Structure formats: C-alpha cells, structure tokens
Chains A and B, each alone.
Chain A
Amino acid sequence: MPDLPDYHWPPMGKRRVMGKPMNRLDGIAKSTGAAKYSSDRKPEGMLYGALLTSPHAHAKVTSIDTSAAEKLSGVEAVRVVAKAGTEIQWAGAEVAFVAARTEEIAEDALRLIKVDYEVLPHLVNEEDLSKVGSRGRAVGEQVTGDPDKAFKEADAVSEGHYGIPVLTHCCLESHGQTIAVKGDHVEYYPSTQNVYGIATDIGRALNIPVSNVHVNMDYMGGGFGSKFPADVWGVEAAKMSQSSGKPVRLFLDRATELTMAGNRPSVFANVKVAAKRDGTITSWQSQTWSTGGIGGGNLNAGLFPYVFTKVPNRRINHTSVSINAGGARAWRAPNHPQVCFVTCSALEDLAAKLNMDPLEMFLKNLDYTSRADLYKFQFAKAAELMEWKKNWHPRGDSGSGSVKRGLGLALGTWGGAGHASTCKTTIHPDASVEVELATQDLGTGSRTMVAMIAAETFGLPVSAIKVKIGDNSYPNSGGSGGSTTSGGISSSTRKSTVNALQKLFEVVAQSLNVPADQLEAVDGRIRVKGNPDKGMSFQQAAQKLGVNSISEMGENNPRNAPKEGLNTGGTGGVQMADVSVDIDTGIVKMNRMVAVQDCGLVVNPKTAESQVFGACIMSVCGALYEERIMDQQIGRVLNPDMEFYKLAGIGDVGEIIVHMDIREENDSRGVIGLGEPCAIGGLAAIANAVANAIGVRVPRVPLTPARVLAALERRTA
C-alpha cells in the first residue's frame, strides 16, 4: 500500500488562494440578472401551479367541490389534498392544487373551488401560559446541584421575564419548484438546501427510481434552514405534471410562504439567577415555554444558562405548547438565538443589580464555558472595537436628554463540523479542471470556496477551475444545514484534488525521472521541490495524459474527520451593540454593532464577513422589527406580507464592524461552518443595549416603540 497523500491544509503563511478575500464566482451572474433561479425556469409548455389553503386554524373539511375549477378553460390539473373528512390543524394548510395555462387562470380556478368546513376551536397564541390549557405539555425538570440553597446564600438574586416571538424565514424566493415529469423521468428544479437528498421525496411519491429524478439548481433565493424536503407542494406539482404531461411551476405566494413554510419557535421565560457580590454566578433557574406550531415547541432547554452551562446549580423546566399554526423548521442555529437572548438578558439584569459592568461579569464567569480563552480574547477585541470602556455607563445613567445611549453584549457557540461529502475532480488532457459535487450555494459562497480550495491544491488561478454543483448527478455531498457544509465540502474537495494531483504527479514523475513525492504544484507549474527550474507547466503536464483524463474522488467522513484535521466543530463568537433610544417616542436606533467571530480556518474572508454582516442585520430585524402576529379571534397570521412582517432596511442597521477571529490557534482547528454561529448573539446584545440605555428591561422583543414606552411607564408607575 502506498502512503496516503498529504491532505493537510498548507500552512497558514504559505497559502496562495485560501485565506485571501475573493469575489464570489457567481457575483456577476447574480448582479446582472443572468443567474437563473428555479423560479425563473420556464420549460416549453409549462403550466402555472397554484395552491388553495385553509382559512381556518382548526376545521374539518365537510365537502369539497372542484368541478367548476376543472371546467374552467385553461385548467389542466386539479388535485385535492384535504378530502372531505380531513381535519385541518392550521390556517394556511394545503387544501387543493391546480395547474393552468396561465397564472391568472390558476388563481381564478382556486376561487372556483368550493370547500365547506366545520370550524373547530383553535388556539394560536402561547404567550400567556395560563390560557393554553391542555395544549401545554411539561417536558420534565432538570436539576443540577442545589439551586434553592444557592439562591438562599447568594448576595444578589435577579428575577425577570423575557419573551421572543415566532419568526418566519421569509425566504425571498419562496418555497417551490419547477418540475417536469415525462414518463418515468423527472427534471426537477427545486429551491432547496438539499440538492442531492430531495430527489428521494419525489421518487417515492411518484413510485419511480430516484435515479430517474434529475435535480438541478444553480441558484436559490434563501433558505435559512427551511428548505430541505420536497414538501406537499413539490409532490403535488410533480403529480400535476405527470397527469398533464407538461412541466409545472409552483412557488408559494408571499402570504402562504409567511404563514406555513416554516418558522422559528418562540420562547417565553421566567428566570431567576443568582451571584456572589463579585459577580460569580451561583445558581440558575428557568421556566420556559414555547411553540413551533401544532407539534409544540421542543426547546433544547439543556442549553441553559447559555454558554455558561457549567454554572453549578441549575433548575430547568420547559413546557411545549401546541398551537394551531404552521410547523417550525430549522432556523439558523436552532434554539440558540432564543436561549442566548433569555440567558444574556437575565445575566445583564443581574449585573445591573450588582451595579457591575456586564462585560466584567461575563469575563468573571468564563470558566463556566467550554472556551474560556477564546471568549476572553474575543471580548477584549470586541471591547476595543466598541470602545466599551469609554462608552459604557451603568444602567440608566445616560444623561438628561430624551435620547439615551446604551451598550449591550452577548456571546454564542455552535458545532459546525463538516457533514459527509464526496467530491470528484477531473483533470483533462487540455488542462481544464472540473470539480463536481452535489452541494448547493445558498448565497454563502460555497461555490467559490470549492474553487479556491481546488486552485490552492493545483497551484492554479481560481479561473482555471470549473466548479459543478447544484446537480444530483454529481457525487453526494449532503444537505446544507447546521453549518456543516463548509467543513464537509472543503475537506472532500481538498482530498479529491490532492488525489487527482497525485495521479498527475505520477505521470510527470516518469518524464522528469524523479519520484512523484518530490513534486509540487506551484504557480501553474509542476516542479521539483527545491529545484523550481526543473518542471513543466500544468498545461504540459496535462498533455502527457494523452487521450485519458484523471478522475479522482475525495470523501469527508465525519467519523474520521477529527483525526484528519481538515475540519472540526466548535466555534465561539461575541457581539456588542450600541443603540440610542428616544424615550419620548420609544424608537430604538442602531448606532453600531461589533461582531468578533471564530470559524476555524477561514477560506474566503470576504464571503465569511458577508455572512457575519448578514447575521448582525438579521439580529437587528429580530430585535427591533420582526414578529409573526397571530390573531386568536380569526386564528390566522395577521401580517403575512412584507409591509407588516417587518425587516430592517438599509438605513436601519447602523454601522457594523466584523472582525473574523483569524489566528493560528483557530486556523489549526481546520474549517468550521459559519452560518449558524454568527446568527446567535446579536439580538441579545441589542436588547441588552436598550436596557442599558433606558434603565429598564423591555422584556419582550421585538423592541417596538410601544413596548419600549410601556416598559418605561412601568418603571415610573
């Protein structure tokens, strides 16, 4: 057996491509409109699909009549999914689908479908736990140490209530697909985070081999955790395509997208937390409840107190509340932003009670975390960038004017080790290089990352690498969830490219009459180590392949990855926020955010920073604007549109400073995913900054003017 090639990343100081900021490869395609998303596809003869949803939060379908819709000229398929007798569990649930020659006809057809419902009682609000009755289910108490004794002995005890509502993903490209079923072959253009795996859902639904389902998706307009399965609309579009013999495009309208295509569970919390006079946390108690829809809200309450999980005395209770609303889906760092918000709010309140700088208190307790040194460094860096010492003041001590300024902080952690991934690299005799893997680029820059890694291995410019992703005819590289993609694809690409280069070395070695292991690929040349003049261009080397090409696989297997060292899991980051609050109007204005974020080895600092910027902006959205509002009277989402489901605009987010924590010691841990870890702490930091500014905790986000004013009123009352 020959020795395995050396897959290790080149040393930090010796990388030519990796680690250098690079424009994303598909930037021009996206910014010129040339990029074709699945929702832009229009195969010959395509029909337009549309979906009828339930207006009732809880109801039984007593009858459904589609005959008028079927008779409408231009309608080519009608399918009922909620037949008579079906019990509907949330408003927005799928009832029937149509496909028609034009979108307008499809919409008319929906209006012609007559559905009678027997309306049943519903619950759509969980915020007041006393009103949820039997819909709440306690999931058991976790007790560590002796919290009661610790509370009794503590120098300070702080109690508070905190709430963070259900958010929806609000992907700009809604969920859906264009799909063409012809006989037993399917051309499938979904909008998905799961290019390889999603074919299974369609194959099973149509009872055809998954190998006959060809998935293609070059671009997708946002997923954030919500786009993995084919979903009911995928299966029904496929069936309408099958019955009509024509391709069908069906993407959810905005209201349906915001109502039932996924959401992030709420969390409401009553917290009691205690410390010694010097700020050492001694005890934590939390009673939380949450909902993610009909399935309840299964919070990972074991994450409390967030990051400071080694606090010795803890009592943790959680109640899952089932409501009549669309189901939750993964949302950038499932559980973490909510648990972070509750924990960091409670700790900030405790620090205020102790009249202590929360930065000092957080630093004081870092031994309760798993990464004390990392956070220590990051807090110092963030404090420097935020000028924390100069700008922080004790809570509420913010001058006499009506505009109060305050600072807040938070921290986060995530795993993000690479998922299973396989990659195939081909070197053609004309020296063109193809790298193929069935991954997807959600806008994270994964396409560019693959090219950079291949270019690094081959000593070629990035432009010489052809990256082929977004297609399930390439090797399986898994779905993009839990920040596992970067670690997975970087490692498989590295191994596959090193394997291919090894084969090329063997060919070159013969002609140069040196051992293959004496060769290196640098600056477009294959040359002898230590004797750079002896060698040939990559082009000449490839020509030696004659009529054959080299194709080599590379695999990231999560079980072996830790010892290979190309990727690992476990990251940390800290966020700080600087806000101004007008106590006359209740309006919160973002001045500045600082994020210091580790994700191990950073392949492309440019796209990495973009992800962190984006996460900070999402945090502003969640802290100040976003909330799914349910109406108990009608049982529906009141704001399933982008006017009242509010996102921050370009002028709402203040300045943002991102510092990627790129250091030798972090780099040596290999590549770690970034999507989740940076999307955790920002919201909590902003909420803490507002409390610091106005001298009182606004218990519930988003921090709307009404909530800020109400909190101020309670203080003066």
Chain B
Amino acid sequence: MSFKPDPEKQKKPKSSFSRRGFLQGVSLTGGALTTGILETEAEAQTGAKIQGPGEVPITLQINGKPYRTAVEPRSTLLDTLRNRLELTAAKRVCDRGTCGACTVIIDGKVMYSCSVLAIDAQGRQIQTLEGLSQNGRPHAVSQAFTNNDAQQCGYCTPGFVMAAKGFLDRNPNPTFEEVKRGLGGNLCRCGTYMGVRKAVLEAAKTMKGAKNA
C-alpha cells in the first residue's frame, strides 16, 4: 500500500464531504445496491457524489502533510491510519466510540477516529499523536504522562494524550474537577487515572511556561 506523503503537495480533494452529506450518501449507496436506485438519481437527490463500493483514492492532511492512499468508503479513519498509513499510535480497542483509545484531533476538535470515515476526513486537518513531538522532543503532555506514570500497559495512553492535548487547548488552566470531567471520554483498564489527573495538571503548567518563554 502506498502511504508516502504526497510529493506534489496537497491537492484539494475532488469531493469534500460534510459529515451530514456523507451519511446521506452512505444510506443511498446502500439503497442503490438493494433497490436499484441509480447513482445519478441518488446524486440528484442528495447533491453528494456516490463513492465505492471498492477502493477510492483519498488524500488526508495529517500532521500538516498530505497522505494519499486508497480505501473503501466504509473504512474508518482509524483503520486507514493504522492499516494504510502505518500511523499506529491511535489504537483500536472498542471500535465503536466508547473508549477513546483512537482519539485524534480533527480541525481542532477531539474526535474518536473509529467513528469517522476516512473519506469523510478529507480536507480536514488531522492531528495524530505522531505529530505532537517536535524535532524529536516529546510534547509537554507526553512528558507529563511519563513524569507522573500515567500509563501502565500504555495501550490507552495515545488516546489519553491526544484527549488531554485537546482538552488543554480548550482549557489551558483547568481545575482538578475540570480535568476529571474533561478526560471522561477515555477508558483505561490498568487503572492509570491517578497519574493522568496529575499529568494533565502538570502539562497545563509547563505549556503555559512554554508560551511565556
């Protein structure tokens, strides 16, 4: 599978779907297979272009770089990152939007990549944990997770780090109570929450320090 960053820079993808538009497209694609509605009719009804079945070429903007690959329209962003682009920091755990192990940041918003279709992520700025370290230096959140032992087996950690990063972007000076609420979308089985709470508060401090510097 080709997964190299696109050398010819990012081109605007041919069809940039809104989530709503995409979901309409999906339901009609399904319909087209079983009831024989013509693609053109479906398009006329929704204004969305039918894609698939079968792999379609896509371009994703990940960590500021364009990546081109081909996926089936049903492929999630998570599976595309992991299976096609070898960006494996995001983990597949519940695979249905509960546990947060697959958390990425899309257009500044913390999202579960298992619940976003890859074709729907085109044209959006996707940030994964791989993109957080700068020049080989761990991000303040990653460092704080290590300092506070906010990890054991580490499988939930990438999701937690991304959720924490997104949380701190929105709320750079959180209280302890806000941290507990703000990180409620991620689950850990080893039980690392005590460390995570401390890590997020420490990262808030260091990130402010970095800004002032």
Contacts and interface: CB of A to CB of B under 8 A. Distances in A.
Interface of A: 23-24, 26-28, 30-37, 39-40, 42, 48, 102-104, 170-174, 219-222, 224, 253-254, 442-445, 606-607, 609-611, 613-618, 641-643, 647-651, 653, 656
B193 A443 contact: no
A24 B89 contact: no
Given A30-B146, A219-B153, A444-B152, 15 more contacts: A28-B143, A31-B143, A33-B158, A42-B86, A172-B101, A172-B155, A172-B189, A173-B93, A254-B94, A442-B153, A613-B192, A617-B191, A618-B189, A643-B98, A651-B181
Interface size class of B (residues with CB under 8 A): 35 or more
A331 to B, nearest CB: 12
Interface string B95-117: 11011010000000000000000
A614 B152 contact: yes
Among B94, B98, B180, the most chain A Cβ lie within 10 Å of the Cβ of B94
Nearest to A35: B154
A437 to B, nearest CB: 19
8 contacts: A23-B146, A30-B157, A31-B157, A33-B88, A48-B83, A171-B189, A648-B193, A649-B186
A443 B153 contact: yes
Contact of A642 (B89, B98, B196): B98
A170 B189 contact: yes
B122 interface: no
B74 interface: yes
Contacts of A31: 138, 141-143, 145-146, 150-151, 154, 157-158, 161
B191 A30 contact: no
Given A221-B91, A222-B190, A607-B149, A443 B139 contact: no
B197 interface: yes
B138 A613 contact: no
B39 interface: no
A88 to B, nearest CB: 25
A614 B139 contact: no
Interface stretch (B16-24, B41-49, B125-133): B125-133
Interface in B56-81: 72, 74-75, 79
Given A104-B72, A254-B93, A443-B154, A650 B149 contact: no
B190 A614 contact: yes
Interface-central residue, A443, A616, A641, by most chain B CB under 10 Å: A443
Given A27-B146, A31-B138, A651 B184 contact: yes
Nearest to A40: B88
Contacts of B150: 31
A28 B142 contact: yes
A172 B153 contact: yes
Contacts of A104: 72, 74-75
B96 A643 contact: yes
B156 A172 contact: yes
A443 B152 contact: yes
A100 B195 CA distance: 40
A643 B112 CA distance: 14
